[in-house]
Structure 1
Amino acid sequence: MVQLLITGGPVIWLLLTFSLMGLTVASYKIWQLFGHFKLNDRAAARAFKLIEEGKKPEALMLINGHPNPSAKVLSRCQQILSNKYLSLQQARDEVYRGARLQAEQLSSHLRILEVIATLAPLLGLLGTVLGMIEAFRAMEAAGEHVNPAILSGGIWQALLTTAAGLIVAIPISILHSWLERCSERQTQAIQNTIEYAFTLHSQTPNPVRSAAKEASEPA
């Protein structure tokens, strides 16, 4: 392994650095999404069920302080919708502002994985081209006393960087696509949570509006 790193030259070392960086970022994102944010938790769905059953205090107890993005957005929705000084449109704008911040956290650091998956094969190809140039330069310097072993040895050393670039790029690309899809699905879940929360709110009678309507009706 050490001999391969020495043979591959600086391109191999750079690809090794990319691979360590990519695995570190991917590990952090997996912990963030499924450990910190708990994407596999269904707290928001359970809270909606309680709200539909008229158990809003129990629902708020379930989601208040919960790290799941959908549960966090639903808790924020309930707090903002209970503010009688905000119109429905103002409440919606404020909820979506917080949801955008949640979406940015979900997709954070994914661009690093995308860049690594894109650059790794290109670096491998660059190392191969540089290796081939060096092999043919050595062959030219040998003149009439060309040893085929020199050329074949230089070629396999040059191709080593291409293989290393693909080895780095393929798993990083798979991890990036999977994590990006997880982030997109959670962002869609957040949007669905907001829309359903406002739908339930519109179906709930507003005591203040009902009292005002009764007062305005003639006796």
Structure 2
Amino acid sequence: MSDLLDILQHHIDYIILGLLLLMSFIMVWFVIERFLFFKKVKVSAYSNIHQLDIDLNRHLTIISTIGSNAPYVGLLGTVISILLTFYALGNSGGDIDASAIMLHLSLALKATAVGIIVAIPSMVFYNALSRKVEVNRLKWKALNSQKNIGE
């Protein structure tokens, strides 16, 4: 059990930060894809608003999910790091160094900070892309209402 905790203590940062890096890479990938899509989308090519909605909203759920869950992933890393710090202190046999405790606790908080750093741009991009969805839907409705008036 001690070996497992030792391995976890040495690798928890890499695991959590790696997961957050993967989440941010996926988010950036889909954000770029969505901005490129919105740049070239022609709402006039859609005869059905439902198909337009499907195409406009593609991958937005992933961006939103990353934005809403990244702080929790960071918080998980922080909690695990704090638990491991307290476990190590409990096994130290009474030799408690306050500066070492503060150092370990401050380092544990970096996972939460990185999670928040991933979440903020994710939610900003999600909101911007959601606005583009709404604008394109309104363009489609305006275009189709003009067609119906002309007929």
The TM-score with structure 1 as length reference comes to 0.61
How far, CA to CA, are the matches of 2:53 and 2:83 in structure 1? Answer: 47
Q: Which has the larger radius of gyration?
A: 1
Please list every run of 5 or more consecutive structure 1 residues that lacks an aligned counterpart in the other structure.
1-5, 38-67, 74-94, 202-219
How far, CA to CA, are the matches of 1:14 and 1:27 in structure 2? Answer: 20
Q: Which runs of 4+ in 1 moved over 3 A?
A: none
Q: Say whether residues 1:157 and 2:107 are aligned partners.
A: yes
Q: Say whether residues 1:197 and 2:136 are aligned partners.
A: no
Q: Cα RMSD (Å) of the superposition? A: 1.4
* 1:143 shift after superposition: 2.6
Residue in structure 1 matched with residue 92 of structure 2 by the alignment: 142
Higher-RCO chain (CA-CA 8 Å, sequence separation at least 6): 2
Q: Which has the higher helix share?
A: 2
Aligned residues of 2:12 and 2:81 also touching (Cα < 8 A):
no
Aligned residues of 1:113 and 1:173 also touching (Cα < 8 A):
yes
Q: 1:22 aligns with which of 24, 27, 30?
A: 27
Aligned residues of 1:120 and 1:165 also touching (Cα < 8 A):
yes
Aligned residues of 1:7 and 1:157 also touching (Cα < 8 A):
no
How far, CA to CA, are the matches of 1:194 and 1:123 in structure 2? Answer: 44
Q: Secondary structure at the match of 1:33?
A: helix
Matches for 1:54-203 after TM superposition, within 5 Å: 68-69=42-43, 71-73=44-46, 95=47, 98-201=48-151
* 1:154 shift after superposition: 1.4
Q: 1:31 aligns with which of 36, 50, 69?
A: 36
Please list every run of 5 or more consecutive structure 2 residues that lacks an aligned counterpart in the other structure.
1-10
Percent identity (aligned): 23
How far, CA to CA, are the matches of 1:123 and 1:9 in structure 2? Answer: 13
How far, CA to CA, are the matches of 2:53 and 2:141 in structure 1? Answer: 10
Give the length in aligned residue pairs.
Answer: 141
For the structure 1 residues 149 and 7, does the alpha-carbon distance in structure 2 shift closer, same or farther, using more than 3 Å as the test? Answer: farther
* 1:31 shift after superposition: 0.6
* 1:150 shift after superposition: 2.4
Q: Secondary structure at the match of 1:9?
A: helix
